[in-house]
Structure 1
């Protein structure tokens, strides 16, 4: 630094930097989502407007408290910007729809297809609601009893985005309720995405009751009004209501609302699609568990052979919580023996709390049309590493590997792998010469589509004539366009085998929409779940967008021609045309491919 001192031109304080950064940000006053906060790129985005994103499950076990920027985001509207001064209960907050996506194999549910990452833990600081209400309303040292004498039964929380929800007064003002009006999260002012400057924290209750951006608190004889309290969104419904027709005439306001959440347990590592080394005797599994209604978790059991044998896990952080007030998760870990044989491994995890609260075997046991409170045994399917002699085989000729992968995918997510598989292609697979001629895949259906909250990246390093390959990358502010294919399951296995899943790419589920007349995501159409491909973590992946290697002109030509042949909108084709190429890489499409496409177009 001394060497640079003569070149110093001034000092920029942290305050000035923050001020200049905020001033430089341009906000479109006509766009309700034009002033959204910055988000971590590792979040798994299910919807960008409003933002709905889950924490990466693999990162949930890294620290006991979830970092603020990795917390799951569950918004119903644009995030308001509120002014307020930044002014302690450790609790895990969880969306009642957490793990909803695992229910869909037993019947379609209504709502965001969350994985197991819509749960996070923080230490909250604020004012106990019991004290605030007692002093403000002069209810004395026993505010609950005094309020009930006045005929009051519920505490209603109203938010700056006009959302409101309520909780029973026994929870709101009870001595052991621990309800906070919070202004700090993990020692810092609550970020806007998580309700700052003020939010209500209701430990042990569904995330929807923990109202963000709270502006008004009302004690009432009745519950809150609106869809989040009296509509179907957060109501307990019987499993025999299977379709919208079954809901006709139902008085949703009369149904019980979801408040306390059941005992829950999930893996944070390994993740679905990971592989174990067949030469190893065991591997480590990690995760978290949460009891119901403040009860401590006292046992976690894990299986690596589909439940034939079980191993009791070690309970790590979170075991010292007060009796009856264990609001935060308990992390766990264990070494699991690797079963003999070539088959994929079926991992199961289950927990029990001190009240006897246990977990049902499958999502079918707790299925409901809203997909709420799925606390079935968490299932993760792992592959096995391929023997060296098999790795030397050409991937596109190894149907044995494709069939093994198909079994793995079926076990991992039957909702996406059944009679047909939806696959969003955005790279060279949009081009029929690649998908059909080279991979031997004949789609059952194809249409232009878009995945909001994702971008086109070139984050997978190549080799030889291809410097890089396309990858879907999470980005809450952008949209990825591509072709939505329906494939036979065996054809989907061919795609995965030839793309190097899970070694070059990982297959992940994304939410897609068909396009409207302007070539934009059509919000009037229902969301479709589909698989797409992201670059696998490892040395071949480029983490920073700015460092991504440019693709070859040959590779880009497949993207551009594939987009044109598939009817992708002009604005996306213009975007692809504007991408820079690697000047040292090959220039043209294989003439054999071009001739094949021309002949195919003539015959079709």
Structure 2
């Protein structure tokens, strides 16, 4: 798997050995013992699986923790970034380059500093850094210890967020010396780009992050088709896209209290084929609008981190019943999905949903192998993904390798320390992720797709046409979309396009909408607002001010655009 590439080389195996010595000795051994668990018939008991999942929970914050924490820490202690340059009287020093006059260290020297007792040293290119003060102060605690005594580059290759001047500048503030040229070459000789085998993408996608790849289509294209073409469906990847041989691939199913089973694709396809049309939306959709109120941490998504598609596969309900799950099993509280996309420590992306959703025969949760009538593309989860209608995209785990029915929800970073909402008054100094539940159902939202912000629109017969989408979580159907051109004095009800016949609370698809808006003679500009109402009569809040949160999720206030008019 791509996620294990970094640790297959001799140098990185040595790095792993040193990491084992420094931290999490027993736990990390257990993780590595099961690197190939998806490609063998090896079984393991419930206690071992539970231990492995707990280990993964502690490790999964490593890459993201380093990136997010560096950003937060930097923003709060900006003045520290100038310490190194000031002390060396050189403002042109680039991170990792040799600095004349500093001590020279070897990898062996660095490897001896992997605990608080001996200080925490890391390397980056030809730089050696004592990051002990950073570990003591940053919000992620000691999760960064996985890089102690070695190079941070394997992790930074995985997470492109580090390639920012302010983060590199802060790293330099902890500079204590240079790494010998020979050791520097050794430390990177076997590193391969984990993103080197990524699939090709449609050129019209707007890229929000290259590594990992995250992109959305132009909003105007969304309104053109009720079913979003696969090539134009937004892409949300947290890690490199795995390269999977479906002939060797197996899905592990483990029900609490029972022995695990493994299913091939042929076996999964023997279950009755079920087809569902559903929208999938990123929790951060429209984050860029919320960020205008006050900066948030996360990808700068516009209005197009959402799509509507038809998925086909086996119902999760059918598969879990066949695996031995009983409807009255008290210990069955959550279903965890584990992907094949992994970080440098071989920790996979994972998330979970409540058992009530998973085992609802009408909940339409799928182990999907087709999207829009064709096999899943690599970006969208080939060969198998979870499709959880009515639930946030983060729980629709791609590249499935395992499904666990358990007493606890997933211990992964993305379940426990991300994709949660908070009060507008909660900041990174006061946030406690344990106090907020993981997002499942998303609130009602809508967006104007056409025209776009600042577009010059031709007025025809005294009117303009406005198009967009609307969606709601939890199986609620959109019943109305209102659009106003005059700050809410007059509202025009849009025509809805939604051919799905499923009734709430099992209506999973979005609605497209269109409305004609009258224009006053000679009017040069217009501000348009749009809001949707769902079948439970939930509606969108008027502004982002009172729903702002530090992660920029659940961003569903009125959508507003300004346009210019041409008569």
Correspondence for 2:398: 212
Determine which of 303, 322, 333 is the counterpart of 1:135. Answer: 322
Equivalent position of 2:328 in the other structure: 146
Tell me by how many angstroms 1:127 deviates.
0.5
TM-score by length of 1: 0.56
Structure 2 residue ranges without an equivalent (≥5) = 1-189, 248-264, 270-274, 342-347
> 2:550 aligns to what SS in structure 1?
coil
What is the CA–CA distance in structure 2 between the aligned matches of 1:159 and 1:131, rounded to whole Å?
20
Distance 1:200 1:50 in 2: 20
What SS does the aligned partner of 1:89 have?
A: strand
SS in 1 for 2:220: helix
Listed one character per residue, the Cα deviations across residues 527-578 of structure 1 (whole Å, up to 9, x for unaligned) are xxxxxxxxxxxxxxxxxxxxxxxxxxxxxxxxxxxxxxxxxxxxxxxxxxxx
Q: Is the CA contact (8 Å cut-off) linking 1:55 and 1:119 kept in structure 2?
A: no
Correspondence for 1:333 among 514, 526, 531:
514
The 1:134/1:237 distance shift into structure 2, 3 A limit, reads: same
Match of 1:237 among 422, 437, 461: 422
Tell me if the contact between 1:124 and 1:184 (Cα under 8 Å) persists in the aligned partners. Answer: yes
Contact 2:504 2:535 in 1 (8 A): no
What secondary structure does 1:132 align onto? helix
What pairs with 1:282-321 in structure 2 (closer than 5 Å)?
282-318=463-499, 320-321=501-502
Change (3 A) 1:303 1:339: farther
Write the distance in 2 (CA, Å) between the matches of 1:332 and 1:304: 16
| 2:430 paired with 1:246 | yes
User: Which whole-Å deviations, capped at 9, do the CAs of 1:182-209 have from their partners, x for residues lacking one?
Assistant: 0000000000101111000001111000
1:80 aligns with 2:242: yes
**Structure 2 CA distance for aligned equivalents of residues 172 and 361 of structure 1:** 34
Aligned match of 2:233: 71
- Partner Cα distance (1:266, 1:107) in 2: 20
Is the partner of 1:107 in helix, strand or coil?
coil
Deviation, 1:278, is 5.4
Q: State the alpha-carbon separation in 2 of the partners of residues 279 and 96 from structure 1.
A: 37
Shift of 1:256: 0.8
Q: Deviations over 1:335-375 (max 9, x none)?
A: 11114554521111111111111110011131111111111
Q: CA deviation at 1:224?
A: 0.7
Moved over 6 A (4+): none
Partner SS, residue 545 of structure 2: helix
Matched residue, 1:275: 456
Q: Does 1:170 align with 2:352?
A: no
Q: Name the residue aligned to 1:520.
A: none
The RMSD of aligned alpha carbons is: 1.8
Counterpart of 1:55 (choices 217, 232, 257) is 217
- Alpha-carbon separation, structure 1, partners of 2:278 and 2:414: 22
Match of 2:375 in 1: 189
Q: Do the aligned partners of 1:292 and 1:353 also contact (CA within 8 Å) in 2?
A: no
Q: Which residue of 2 aligns with 1:91?
A: 278
1:408 alignment counterpart: none
Task: Count the aligned residue pairs.
Answer: 347
Which whole-Å CA distance do the structure 1 matches of 2:429 and 2:521 have between them? 48
Change (3 A) 1:29 1:184: farther
Secondary structure of 1:130 counterpart: helix
Match of 2:409 among 214, 223, 226: 223
Query: In 2, Cα distance between the equivalents of 1:371 and 1:58?
Result: 23
Mapped pair 1:365 → 2:365:
no
Do 2:287 and 2:555's aligned partners in 1 also have CA atoms closer than 8 Å? yes
The structure with higher relative contact order (CA 8 Å, sep 6+) is 2
1:33 and 2:165 equivalent?
A: no
CA contact (8 A) 2:464 2:519 kept: yes
Taking structure 2 as the reference length, the TM-score comes to 0.59
Alpha-carbon distance in structure 2 between the residues aligned to 1:295 and 1:185: 22
Matched residues in 1 for 2:429 and 2:297: separation?
A: 13
Mapped to 1, the partners of 2:332 and 2:543 lie a distance apart of 40
Residue in structure 1 matched with residue 290 of structure 2 by the alignment: 103
